Amino acid sequence: MRQARIESSTGLDLPTTGSMVERARAARRAVVFSGAGLSKESGLDTFRGPGGLWERMRPEDLATPQAFARDPETVWRWYAWRWQQVAGATPNPAHREIARWEGRFESLQVVTQNVDGLHLAAGSTGVLELHGTIAFARCSVCSRREPMGEAVARSAQEPPRCPACSGCLRPDVVWFGEQLPEGVFEAAAEASSAAHLFLTVGTSATVYPAAGLIEIAARSGALVIEVNVEPTPLSDLADVRMAGPAAEMVPALGRWLDRLG
């Protein structure tokens, strides 16, 4: 029978004894699954929820292949603005704490829906970027890549042309209706099914197939910990739910794990 979920709003009231503690202490393989809420304290807007980007604009106007075909200038200008936001952002304490965990677990796999590259900037290695990266632009014809900063420097108002084939450049992100990068979700699912501890942090748990990783981990017996300001549709799968900003809750979780030894 599944135990009652532990709720925490500070991280200070997490248990020091019991079966969940023993499971956390024995965990050797961990997965961190992150969404836009992780980067909020780095100054980057989330997409869903109160004040999110998709509350102020429609994703079908900015984040679909059809939108790019219909109005490439508007889409490119929006992503040029978004890239400039990301370029000015730095990892927050949650990103840095997650990177520190590479020394705690025998294996740590970071899987992110974010395209901002802040996990990598914080020092995490082998990050699986489910939705691509805004750090690069990609030719919509020949798939040649170049740093997004170089592409924006050539033109922030309309998509610059590929020097190899003259096709329009686009951000190297996954838009609604597109396939995830080949092999990335499969690798994430494999890691999730083998995880002893699975942390889901800052994600709305509404975008599939990515959200399915939480279900895979729970079904496979991982200790599932959710960090999110608001409950999500998959909160009931979490053994531990920490309600608060990622930049506060993830370091608090790290201190709890440190106390367990």
Domain containing residue 164: CATH number: 3.30.1600.10
Tell me what the pLDDT averaged over the chain comes to. 92
Q: Where in the sequence numbering do the catalytic residues fall?
A: 131
Q: Are residues 79 and 153 in the same domain?
A: yes
With bands split at pLDDT 50, 70 and 90, how would you rate the model's confidence at 28? very high
CATH of the domain at 192: 3.40.50.1220
Q: Do 185 and 252 sit in the same domain of this protein?
A: yes
* End-to-end CA, the chain: 27
Residue 171 dihedral angles phi and psi, to the nearest 5°: -65, 145
Per the CB < 8 A criterion, the answer to whether 76 and 140 are in contact is no
Q: Do 60 and 145 share a domain, yes or no?
A: yes
The conformational region for residue 45 under phi > 0 = left, psi -120 to 50 = alpha, else beta, is beta
Q: 3-class SS at 58?
A: coil
* Domain-terminating residue out of 115, 146, 173: 173
Last residue in a domain, options 116, 148, 173: 173
pLDDT tens for 104-156 read 999 999 999 999 999 999 999 999 999 999 999 999 999 999 999 999 999 99
Both 53 and 103 in one domain: the answer is no
Provide the pLDDT for residue 187.
98
Q: Are strands 6-8 and 169-173 parallel, antiparallel or unpaired?
A: unpaired
d(CA 132, CA 39): 16
Residue 248 predicted with pLDDT over 70 = yes
79-116 pLDDT, tens per residue?
Answer: 999 999 999 999 999 999 999 999 999 999 999 999 99
Judged against a pLDDT cut of 90, whether residue 58 lies above it is answered with no
Q: Can you give the pLDDT at residue 152? A: 97
Domain termination residue (choose one: 173, 202, 233) = 173
Bridge partners for 34 per DSSP: 112, 201
pLDDT at 2 > cutoff 50: no
Specify whether 211 is located in the same domain as 120. yes
Residues 109 and 229 reside in one and the same domain = yes
Can you tell me the distance from the alpha carbon of 12 to that of 242, in angstroms, rounded to the nearest whole number? 10
Q: Is the pLDDT of residue 55 over 50?
A: no
Q: State how far the Cα of 49 lies from the Cα of 61, in Å rounded to an integer.
A: 18
The DSSP output letter for 104 is T
* R_g of the chain computed on alpha carbons: 19
Co-location of 61 and 189 in the same domain? no
Do 258 and 201 belong to one domain?
A: yes
Q: What is the mean pLDDT of residues 28-51?
A: 85
Residue 189, domain extent = 1-44+91-131+181-261
- Residue 27 in this model has a pLDDT that exceeds 90: yes
Please indicate, yes or no, whether residues 54 and 8 belong to a single structural domain of this protein. no
Which amino acid, one-letter code, is at 55?
A: E
Q: Decide if pLDDT at 54 tops 50.
A: no
Considering the domain architecture, whether residues 76 and 196 belong to the same structural domain is answered as no
Q: What is the mean pLDDT of residues 9-37?
A: 92
The yes-or-no verdict on residue 59 having pLDDT over 70 is no
The answer on 240 and 190 residing in a single domain is yes
In whole angstroms, give the CA distance from residue 162 to residue 151.
9
- Average pLDDT for residues 175-194, to the nearest whole number? 96
Could you tell me where the beta strands, DSSP code E, fall in the chain? 6-8, 29-34, 107-112, 128-129, 132-139, 145-147, 169-173, 197-201, 223-227, 240-242
Co-location of 241 and 153 in the same domain = no
Q: What's the total number of domains in the chain?
A: 2
Query: pLDDT per residue over 197-235, tens digit each?
Result: 999 999 999 989 999 999 999 999 999 999 999 999 999
Residue 72's identity, in one-letter code, is P
CB 193 within 8 A of CB 217: yes
- 16-25, 46-55, 141-150, 186-195: the lowest-pLDDT one: 46-55
